[in-house]
Every structure is written in C-alpha cells, then in structure tokens.
Structure 1
Amino acid sequence: MKSRNLIILIALICSMQTSMKAQNPIIKDIFTADPAPIVYKNTVYLYTGHDTATVKDTNYKMPDWHVFSSQNMVDWKDHGTLLSPKTFAWAEGDAYAAQCIQRDGKFYWYVSTGHKKNAESGGGMAIGVAVSDSPTGPFKDAIGKALITNEMTKDKKHGWDDIDPTVFVDDDGQAYLFWGNGSCKSVKLKKNMTELDGPITVLDIKNYIEGPWVYKRKGNYYLVYAGVGTKPEMIEYSMAKSLQGPWEYKGIIQENVPNSFTTHPGIVDFKGKSYFFYHNGTLSTGGSYRRSICIDYMHYNQDGTIQKIIQTTEGVAAVGKR
C-alpha cells in the first residue's frame, strides 16, 4: 500500500510541475509571428505568420501563414500551412501580418504581401483577401486581384506602407478595413467584404507605426497598435466613441518585448476573460526575425481604459477541459 501511495504522490508532483511550466511562447516547434485570434463555436482560432529566417539572417523570411486552434487557451492544435502568397497569382514575396474574420458563414482572411510589377501595379506591398467556408480552409483568392495596392495610397512614399490589415464589423453591419505602416489608413467595405465602399482616409493617430487591431467593447472603440514613440516597438492605443474618430491617445500598454524589435497585438475575449496575444524572440535561437507568439491576460479599468499588460513566461491558465 505504501508503495502504491508513493507512486500516486510522485505522479501528482509530476502533474503539478507540468501544469506550472512556462506556457509562453505557446507554439514551440516553429517560429510564429503577428497573432490574429478569433472566437468561433467555442474555439479560438489563431492565424499567424511563420518565420523561417536562419539565426544568421538579417531580414525576414516568411513563406506562409498558419492556423492553430484551442478550446482552453493552453492546448493548441496546428492545422498547418493554410495560405501563402502563392495562393494569389498577383502576389510575390513574404507573408506579412494578416487577420481572418467570419461573416455570414464565410471566413475572410486579409493578408499583406508583395505585389508583382505588372500593368496594374508598380509593385510594393499590397493587401489581398482569401475566402473559405471553414476557419481552417481551404482558402482561395476571393477576387483574383489585390484589394489595396501601393498606387491607391499616396500619403507615404515608401513601398511598404500598405501592410498589416485589421477588419472590424460594427453593430450596424458596416465593415471597416484598417492598415498601414507609418500612417493608419481606413476604408469602408461593402457587405460582400471584398470591395471598397468609399474613399480611403488617413487617421490622426498619435505615435502610430504599424500593426493595428480594432475592436469594440462596452460602447468604446479601441485602436491598438505598435507605436513609433520608442524603439524597439511598444504597444500603444487610442479610444473613440465612433470609428470615424476623433481618436484619443491613451498611452502605452505593453513595454518592449524580449529579444525582438517588433511586437504585434491580437485581442480576444473568451469564456469570460480577456486575452492579449503578441510575439517576442524568447524561444531558443529566437530573435527579431525568428519570433514566437505569447498570451497574457488583459484587464480594463472601470472607465474602459486598458491596464498595463504584464508579460509572463507562465502565460495563462487553462479554461475548460484539458
């Protein structure tokens, strides 16, 4: 009997050690970046970039986008490479930040990648959209051309200002696309989610550099982004009572991340808690071009402002069954 009790005790200790081990980064077998989570049918689907640069490389190598899913925020299933720039006949280059949203039974995956030089475009970065009937694909090019090209935006002269799309559907059904490097741009989308529905506007957002994430909570609109006020990047945010603005700057919510020049926000509410997704370079052999996604809790003050994100190696606890 004593021997049996000892075995049980050892098993419990091992179980406790396993549950207490560091969860962050959450994906450890490949390098992932630019997290974009959504909640669909009691599951969180996480759309990510994929870093494949070597430890000696001095620039990004991002060949494709991956999808992961979890029902408890701790155990993540890898659904593999579900999209790449090769999906789009007009595209070439790397798979920059992207976001997928669901509307009317379809999933629209907005991506930023390079545009081939041809009669329609002089090149530079562009935004495309893929579509599927399932959050895990198969995805196909929804319109056979880029939704946003470098020629459509003139406020910045560099060729990579049209990156990092985020899409939000307001309570009245109007959809909006936000994006940009160096300035934050916005445009309405038609209900089909694949056509522009008005002129492109440039928002007045303090310290904005890239990586916007737009959402609404308790009557407040939030624009969370990587800020230019400091280097390496920090995550800053503004709030508004309307998506048309004015946007009021609220400050920094995430300080520099370890071992990475960039960071990128993704925010979701799931089973009664708010979660903040980001990337850093803390995985073994990681760095600014070999990044990894992490999750920590997100908390709000009574007035709706966001509390500082506390970065941890422990990550978040499981919700629901394991």
Structure 2
Amino acid sequence: MKGSLRWLQVGLPALSAFAATLPAIAQPGPPIIQTRFTADPAPLVHDGVVYLYTSHDEDDATGFEMRDWLLYSSTDMVNWTDRGTVASLKTFPWAVQTNDAWAPQVVARNGKFYLYAPVSVTGSPKNVIAVAVADKPEGPFVDVLGKPLIAAQDGFIDPTVWVDDDGQAYLYWGNPDLWYVRLDEDMTSYSGPITKVDRILDYQEGPWFYKHNDRYYMAFASTCCSEGIGYAMSDRPTGPWTYKGPIMDHDARATGNHPGIIDYKGGSYLFGFHYELNFAVTPIHHERRSVSVAKFSYNADGTIPNLHWWDVTGAPQLEALNPYKRVEAETIAWTSRIRRNRDRPYDWAPGVTTAGNPLDGVYVTRTLDRTYIRVAGVDFGAAGAKRFIASVANGARGSAIELRLDRVDGPVIGTLQVGETDPIGKWQERTTSIKDAIGTRDLYLVFKGPGDRTLFDLDHWRFAR
C-alpha cells in the first residue's frame, strides 16, 4: 500500500493534470462500495459468503488517513452489505492511535478468525504486524497478544496469510522486499526464521498469497509509481517464485494498488482499487480510494490473463435477490451523490452513507432529497409483490421513499410515506401498497423530501405478496 508514498514526491502534478481531463463521473470499473472510501481489499470466502475486509480512507483525507478496518459481504458479487467497523487502532492500544491502519487480511482456522494488520508503534518510525482474533467473521476482534506479532522494521506492512493443505500456515509481507515466516497452529505465534525472498521482478508491495489447483500464487502491487498488479507462481509455498507478468498494467489512474484473489461459486475474482470516486468529487489526487472487482478465468496452464484496466461493467450478478425476506437497507449495488451546481462538474455534495452502533447495528443515513439506493436483480416472481414494509427512524415531515424499477427515473411501483417519527431514535415500520412489481428487476429506493437535511434513517425493508 505504501509504495505510492513516492508518488507524493514525484507524481502529484502529473496526476492532477491527468485528472483534470476526466469527466465528472469517470467509472472504469464501478467501485463496489460508494458510501465510504475503501482500499486494500481482502476477500474471504466462508460458509458460502464473500466477506470483504478493507482499509478505510477518511472522507477528508489528502494523504493516507486511516484509523479502522471495515467489512462488507455478498452472495451475488453485486449487492454488498455493509457490516460496519470490525476493528480499529483502538483494538491495539499499544499502537499509534492517530493513523496508519493499513492493509489487513482475515483468515479462518479451527472456528476462529484471525485479522492481521500493519500498525505503527510509539517512538519508532517503523511498522509492525499485529494480530487480533474473533469468533465470527464480523468480530469483535480482540488483541490476544498485547504486543506485535512481527517486530518493527522498515517496510513491514501488507500481511497476507494462507493455510496450506497440510495445515502449515505462512505469513508473507513487505515493501519493497518480500518476507515470510511459518505460523504455528495457534496462528498468533511463529516458528523458525523470518526469511527474505529473492527479488521478484516488478514487485513493490501489497502481496496476496494463495493456492489454486496445486500451484502457489503471489499477486502484488507492481513497482510504484504508478502501480499495476503483477503476479508470480511457484510449485512450493516458499518459492522460488517465477514472475509471470501483469494482471493489470501500470496505469496513471492507479498510483497505488493492492490485489485480493478468490474463487467463488465457480468463478475467479480479482479485487483491487482505483481513485474514481475521488475524481468524481475533485480533479486533485487525494488518497481516497475505492475497491472494485473483476471476474476472470485462468488460462489452461494456470497463468492469469492480462485484464488491463477495470472492466466497465464490473462482475456479473450470480443470483437474484429475494425481496420477501428481510433485506438490510445497507445492501447496495450503487448509491448516489448529488450535483449541487450543474455548471461545475466537480461540485458534488455527499450522498447516502451508513452509520452504526452496538444497539442498532448498521443502518442507512444521510438520505437527502433525490439521493437513492439501487439494489440489483430483485426477483419479485411471476405473481409479484403487493406490499412494501420498511423500518425507519428520525423521519422528517414530508419525507418518502419512491420505489422505482430499472432506472432512477423508471416506473413507480409504490411510494412509502415516512413522515415524522416519534420518539427520536425509535425504529418504526411503515407500509405501502405495491403494483406492477413482477419478474426480476433492479430496484431503486429514491428518497424524497423538503430541505437539505437527512430525511430519515433506514434499517431494513422487505416486500410481501
């Protein structure tokens, strides 16, 4: 992740000039999360669900401003549910608390989940690697060591872990050099020496170590700056590693990168990030990144094709969403920002986002007039839906949800009047009748109401026949 620090010295003028030529909404590969700036994707497949752990750039970040780690989940690769903050710098009270919650990875073993992350320590400019443990993918993650797993040294960032078929786990990390150690079965200690790997061509940082069809892979962010995504292969988990080329070429739109690769429901997926949501707000480069995903197929010899830049359409939806069971409002395929001045292409106001607390969990907020949520591939069935029910709180007078199909200006199938809710903070159900909701369609929840304040909070919804 940090190879792009050199960009701050050599590349900002060039990228700013490039960004100034971009259209107001440049989307080379739609970011799968729009409510936060996310980076360093670390996908985990567990019990039929993709859990996507990310680092988090603050909304006002200029350089790297990162204090916590987030989680999203999906079963269809298009609609992603915000699971909230799973860990933060407070998880490691011995670490620097003001910044440096960099690239994480979570792995499962023996019914536990282990989060590995680089942090900084007081009194040292160097990084360490920490580990925290949870009983569930969504945490809470707890620091069980009270100290670093891997002690401080320059470039000790971006941990990646794989548990091999024989039960031996390996932890790799590093920028600009790559290092590894064998983890013990408890996953919170290691045996043997810390070993430096022979230089892999074009390697910079952000390693992603995994196994596919009896071959070992080391994907990584390629030499900064700009960074692409490269990879190497080996017949053994400790190498030697043979460089195989780029998965994505170096590109001026990617001053940093960080791959995550999984197999899921018969397909293979590459996660990474770009800066397109940042450029939708400003032509100036900031460290405000957005995770994206592309589907690919391995070549017959096990190599990975060059995917070039992010595909404009993103990954295909794997299954339809069932609207007749509870759907968390924070399940989103796409959401909106509001243009404040149509004559100024970068003058955008924040749109829908999420919030959460231990009592209520995660919910949707900042529902300004004309903002919306798109939920992809909703299967209403042949008989169709008759009613829509939503759980809302903190409603303003005159607020409502227009339910539209296929487009933000598509046909209206119903309008839920939210209005004032009392008392403040109390979740209440509102219901409206529905017509012409038949078949599998994209659903738009378009928020309407007076003023420029949040109209209401939305926790979950469902349809009824």
TM over 0.5: yes
TM-score, normalized by length of structure 1? 0.85
* Partner Cα separation in structure 2 for residue 265 and residue 256 of structure 1: 13
1:275 pairs with 2:269: yes
Quote the Cα distance in structure 2 between the aligned partners of 1:135 and 1:258: 35
User: Which residue among 36, 46, 63 is the counterpart of 2:42?
Assistant: 36
Aligned with 1:60 (options 64, 67, 70): 64
CA distance in 2, matches of 1:244, 1:179: 13
Counterpart among 133, 136, 146 of residue 135 in structure 2? 133
Residues 1:96 and 2:102 aligned together:
yes
How far 1:257 moved relative to its partner? 4.9
Instruction: Name the structure, 1 or 2, with higher relative contact order (CA <8 Å, separation 6+).
Output: 1
Task: Determine the structure 1 residue equivalent to 2:79.
Answer: 75
Which residue among 177, 182, 185 is the counterpart of 2:176? 182
3-state DSSP of counterpart to 2:255: coil
| One of 305, 309, 313 as aligned partner of 2:307 | 309
Q: Highest Rg: 1 or 2?
A: 2
| Superposed counterparts of 1:233-272, under 5 Å | 233-257=227-251, 259-272=253-266
Q: CA deviation at 1:173?
A: 0.3
What's the offset of the Cα at 1:288?
4.7
* Residues 279, 291 of structure 1: 8 Å contact kept: yes
TM-score by structure 2 length?
Answer: 0.60
1:99–1:111: 8 Å Cα contact kept in structure 2?
yes
SS state of the match for residue 225, structure 2? coil
For 1:143 and 1:260, locate their aligned partners in 2 and report how far apart those are by CA, in whole Å.
Answer: 36
Q: Indicate the RMSD between aligned Cα atoms, in angstroms.
A: 1.7
Alpha-carbon distance in structure 1 between the residues aligned to 2:190 and 2:229: 28
Deviation, 1:231, is 2.4
Instruction: Report the Cα offset of residue 195 of structure 1.
Output: 0.2
Structure 1 residue 222: Cα displacement: 0.4
Contact residue 238 and residue 248 of structure 1 kept, 8 A: yes
Distance in 1, Cα, partners of 2:106 & 2:238: 22
In 1, Cα distance between equivalents of 2:151 and 2:75: 37
Following the alignment from structure 1 to structure 2, what is the Cα–Cα distance between the partners of residues 239 and 170?
15
Residue 22 of structure 1: CA displacement? 8.7
**Ranges of 4+ aligned residues in structure 1 off by more than 6 Å:** none
Other-structure match for 2:195 = 201
Separation (CA, whole Å) in 1 of partners of 2:191 and 2:228: 32
Return the match for 1:224 from 215, 219, 225. 219
Among candidates 143, 146, 169, match of residue 145 of structure 2? 143
CA–CA separation in structure 1 for the residues paired with 2:263 and 2:254:
26
Distance 1:258 1:272 in 2: 32
1:39–1:268 Cα contact (<8 Å) kept: yes
Q: How does 1:284-303 map to 2 (within 5 A)?
A: 284-285=280-281, 287-303=285-301
* Residue type at the aligned position of 1:83: A
The worse-fitting range, judged by mean Cα deviation, of 199-208 and 254-263 is: 254-263
Of 249-258 and 270-279, the range deviating more from structure 2: 249-258
Q: Aligned match of 2:209 in 207, 210, 214?
A: 214
Runs (5+) with no aligned partner, structure 1:
1-20, 152-158
Size of the aligned set, in residue pairs, is 287
1:11 maps to none
| 1:235/1:264 contact within 8 Å kept | yes
**TM-fit CA distance, 1:285:** 2.4
Q: Is the 8 A contact 2:222 2:250 kept in 1?
A: no
Task: State how far apart, in whole Å, the 2-side matches of 1:321 and 1:198 are.
Answer: 48
Residue 69 (structure 1) shift: 0.4
**Mapped partners of 1:168, 1:276: distance in 2:** 17
Q: Which amino acid aligns with 1:319?
A: L
Instruction: Look up the equivalent residue of 2:305 and give its one-letter code.
Output: Q
Please give the secondary structure, in 1, of the residue aligned with 2:51.
strand
Letter in 2 for 1:246: P
Aligned residues: percent identity? 45
User: In the alignment, residue 121 of structure 2 is paired with which amino acid?
Assistant: H
Mapped to 2, the partners of 1:288 and 1:274 lie a distance apart of 31
Contact preservation (8 Å) 2:36, 2:59: no
Structure 2, unmatched stretches of 5+, are 1-26, 322-465
